[in-house]
Amino acid sequence: MKLLHFFAFFYLLSLPVFAQQNKIDSLEKQLVLASPDTQRVHLLNQLSFALYSKNPEKSKDYADEALYLAEKLNFKRGTAETYKNIGLYFRQKGEFVQALNYLTEALSIFSKLNDPEGIASTYITLGLVNGQQGNYLEAMAYHLKSLKIHEKLKLDEKIAVSLSNIALTYYQQNDIDDALEYYFKALGISQRINDRWRIELIYTNIGAAYLKQQHYDRALDYFFKSVLLADSLELPTGRTLLYIGQTYAATKQYEQANEYLFRSIEAFERSKNKYQIAESANAIGDIHLAQGNTKNALKFYEKAELYATETGAKSFLSESYRGRAKVYEAENNLSKAYEFQKKYAELKDSIYSSEVIRKNIFAKSAYELDNKQVQINSLKIQHKNDVLVRNFVVGSFFVLLVFALLFYRNFRKIQKFNTLLQFQNEEIRKRKEEILLQNKDLQQQKNEISTQQALISEQNVELHERNYKFSQSISAALQIQQAILPSRNRAKRLFADHFIIYKPKDIVSGDFYWFNETPDKRLVLAVLDCTGHGVPAAFMTMIVNGLLDRFILFLKFESPAELLENLNKAIQRLLRQEETGDDNGVDAAVVMIENCQKSEGEIESKKLTFAGAKNDVWIFDNNLQQFMVLTGDRRGIGGLQSKKFDAFHNQIVEIPKNSWLYLSSDGFIDQNDTQRIRFGKKKLQKLLETLAREKDEGTEQQWSILEAYNQHAKNTVQRDDILVIGIQL
């Protein structure tokens, strides 16, 4: 029964996602039938705004069509909305100069139309762009203007937006206490009106504030809440993943930091956000530098420098200069280190000088404007008094004249009016009686509505509590699952070089990897794919991991095939699959690795024994420069199986030292592109063979595989958990 409640609750959480997508689908259906008029411009702008963060390029296409049609129709309000949406698109891409040009045009038109909501929404985006460029005084002025308009219009949702942006501006100036105060004000309003999109964004911002205060546990708690809610709403998570990576880096947990930073840069590359790519690349460079890997650190600092230069992000450009100076210093290249340290210092001085000049100009302008306003107000008051005296004299004469005429005329009509008034008074008395009866009915209805509102409020509180507990449970499950995976440090000790690409479809995964040593020092390596993905599959990974650890400790087995047979029987017995009909199972590839020693005792080759359950492995022979495939058996582990299945069988090869071994689950192979074409096993095999010949380091191979995946899967949803491992023997 508890499991049923869990799935029911998860379904309810997903309803807003379907509602959002249904809204986009509905707008696109209306667009097909819409005539080329102002209504079509309105539909195009709605679609552009709905898609600017989810699919920026498609958003820009809709905006371009809206602008063409609005200008053709001379539809000023439509033109202003389109300029604002194009400004949002360029801000999302990190191209701030173009964003400011379009937003300024939008503000000019909204002001001429006297449209307060349009003016306020444009103020918001202008404030955000100025804040991202370090223009904090201008940013705060825009956000305070937007808050004043929204409070006057009593728009709770927009008030929360303005409060969040004021908090962000405090955060950007390192005033964290004030930032948190405004974030929690915005969060309270958003929770009261159930604005889940805004709640997700505020969770990330509160986590970032705690990160700056070095409250790392609080920061991670809010970041994971944000990722969980964003995934349920199908919102981008790149920025939150970047913060998680920076939090782990601050606590020197470099493996976790690298994993989340790679995921963040993948997300930003999918959305083509050059500004954020620069920030993520700098962060990855810092981690490589802290680990002493100057070659990879330099590669990412150069990437950050490229994108920071394109977007004009001076702060990120200065950080890339600083990083490169440290890399060259570590490599004892003192001339290069001095060159980039000098660039860093000059750019920091330039940023500081520009900010000081901008602040002085802003303060001087504000002072002069105040003085002029005082003079204008004084002249207005004097003019107003003169007009009042003149109007009083002229008005008094006309009032007396009119009063005399009216008095004579009204005297003759008083008797007629008295009769009419008596009749009207009687009608009013009857109407009062009717109103009293209606008020009684309305009061009863009001009481019923109050009762219903109280019930809804209770249900809302209960729903928030369940949501919080669910978020905590999933976060805890993620930490537990990460804890069972072998550490990257252990992998570095066991293998000459390696890479691990691990991308869960949901927060927790049904794919996992495992390796351990037998008592006689043989290394056993496995990649396993449990049925499904998400929480149910994650439960299976815990069971299977525990069984594998138990087999190593207590069960003497001679080969991978024997290990797979034991695992098959154990799963069927533990899940009572013959009794219950449960069909959950596992696909796996298991390799046992032994050293082959020559006469002098030096290890020159490795003996590999492989057995697979619906999974293959690939091997690149370093001496012969040949690529081979070892194919697993076409039966799985666990589940309802035919009695006719043969036993798993072993395949044994001997390969030279420093050759490469590759293992993968089916998630990478099954990923579709926008044409619903799978990546495919042959294409993956060809890619691995090319990388084994051309790329010496595991990190370079990992980066190339991720780039190939992103090129194939862009603008599509990840279908399954993804796991690809490469080992240099």
Q: H or E stretch including 610? A: strand 603-613
Superfamily of domain 195-269: Tetratricopeptide repeat domain (1.25.40.10)
Q: Tens digits of per-residue pLDDT, 690-705?
A: 999 988 788 899 989 9
For residue 362, what pLDDT is reported? 40
User: Residues with Cβ < 8 Å from 221, sequence gap 6 or more?
Assistant: 207, 475
CA distance 175 to 623: 60
Nearest 5 degrees, angle CA 207-CA 210-CA 211?
85
For residue 264, what pLDDT is reported? 87
Q: Tens digits of per-residue pLDDT, 272-317?
A: 778 788 888 888 989 888 888 888 888 999 988 888 888 777 778 8
Q: What is the DSSP letter of 646?
A: P
CA distance 228 to 722: 19
- Which of 12-26, 107-121, 161-175, 367-381 comes out lowest in average pLDDT? 367-381
Residue 349 has pLDDT above 90, yes or no: no
CA distance 495 to 601: 19
Pair of tokens at residue 66 = 């809206």
Please give the mean pLDDT across all residues of the chain.
82
Q: What percent of the chain has pLDDT over 90?
A: 38
CATH 3.60.40.10, applies to 485-728: yes
Q: Tens digits of per-residue pLDDT, 536-577?
A: 888 889 899 999 988 888 888 889 999 999 999 999 999 888
Q: What percent of the chain has pLDDT over 70?
A: 83
Q: What is the DSSP letter of 672?
A: B
Segment 579-585 mean pLDDT: 85
Pair of tokens at residue 489 = 């440090």
Segment 708-715 mean pLDDT: 90
CB burial string 602-636: b at 16+ within 10 A, e below: eeebbebbbbbbbbbbbbbbbeeeebeebebbebb
- C-alpha distance from residue 385 to each of 388, 395, 500, 501 (Å): 5, 15, 81, 79
Contact 87, 60 (CB under 8 A): no
For residue 467, what pLDDT is reported? 64
For residue 423, what pLDDT is reported? 61
Q: Is 237 helix (H, G, I), strand (E, B) or coil?
A: coil
CA distance 131 to 179: 14
For residue 192, what pLDDT is reported? 93
More confident call, 203 vs 384: 203
Q: H or E stretch including 20? A: helix 2-33
For residue 55, what pLDDT is reported? 78
For residue 16, what pLDDT is reported? 39
Residue 206 has pLDDT above 80, yes or no: yes
Segment 672-695 mean pLDDT: 92
The alpha carbon dihedral of 56, 62, 63, 68 has a sign of positive
For residue 181, what pLDDT is reported? 92
Q: Angle between the 76-93 and 56-73 helix axes, to the nearest 10 degrees?
A: 160
For residue 217, what pLDDT is reported? 92
- Read off the pTM: 0.45
Contact 586, 528 (CB under 8 A): yes
Parallel, antiparallel, or unpaired for β 497-503 and 722-728? antiparallel
CA distance 379 to 349: 45
Segment 221-243 mean pLDDT: 89
Contact 308, 278 (CB under 8 A): yes
| Every domain of the chain and the residues it spans | 195-269, 485-728
Q: H or E stretch including 14? A: helix 2-33
The 3-state secondary structure of 370-430 reads HHHHHHHHHHHHHHHHHHHHHHHHHHHHHHHHHHHHHHHHHHHHHHHHHHHHHHHHHHHHH
For residue 344, what pLDDT is reported? 84
